[in-house]
């Protein structure tokens, strides 16, 4: 091999390693944590709330998540889930401060940025939704699902002429 080709190969490999490392670091920053109680592998109220959300029973999930938040107010995922259930249960106004709490705990929480953007759209505030889309654009090393979903929601909002 000639030296230029070797240098180009090494440079390309180093770049690939750096890209992979950055992607792994971003994934670790946004990895969700599941609330846990001592001696249990998972908070039972949280698990029941997640099942209720998956079943579309948002009203049932809200009091369960409120109990979890009362026990552990330092978990962004719990606040995000409570905000999501609240918004999907028809109260986007009440969901906003809950998403804000999740983001105060974890400013890089991609799910909370997506969902608060959707809550702002439900309230007709496209400027605030776009702010969270811009934040997701900075947080997602490569295009991520949260960015794509919020962008799609904004486009649909605009297509409806709102």
* Domain boundaries of the chain, sorted by first residue: 1-31, 33-159
Could you confirm whether domain 33-159 is CATH 1.10.1040.10? Answer: no
- Token pair recorded at residue 162: 């709102």
Query: For position 7, what pLDDT does the model report?
Result: 52
How high does pLDDT run on average in the chain?
83
Positions of the chain with pLDDT lower than 50, given as ranges: 9-10, 12-40
Percent of the chain with pLDDT over 70: 74
Tens-place pLDDT, residues 65-85: 999 999 999 999 999 999 999
pLDDT, position 4: 59
pTM of the model: 0.75
């Amino acid at each position: 091999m000639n030296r230029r080709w070797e240098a180009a190969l090494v440079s390309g490999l180093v770049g690939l390693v750096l890209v992979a490392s950055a992607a792994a670091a971003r994934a670790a920053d946004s990895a969700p944590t599941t609330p846990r109680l001592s001696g249990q592998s998972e908070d039972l109220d949280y698990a029941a709330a997640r099942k209720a959300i998956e079943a579309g029973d948002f009203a049932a999930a809200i009091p369960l998540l409120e109990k979890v938040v009362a026990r552990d107010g330092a978990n962004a995922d719990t606040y995000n889930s409570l905000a999501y259930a609240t918004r999907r249960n028809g109260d986007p106004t009440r969901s906003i401060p809950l998403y804000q709490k999740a983001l105060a705990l974890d400013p890089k929480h991609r799910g909370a940025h997506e969902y608060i953007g959707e809550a702002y759209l439900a309230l007709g505030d496209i400027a605030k939704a776009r702010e969270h889309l811009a934040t997701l654009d900075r947080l997602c090393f490569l295009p991520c699902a949260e960015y794509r979903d919020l962008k799609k929601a904004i486009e649909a909002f605009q297509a409806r002429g709102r």
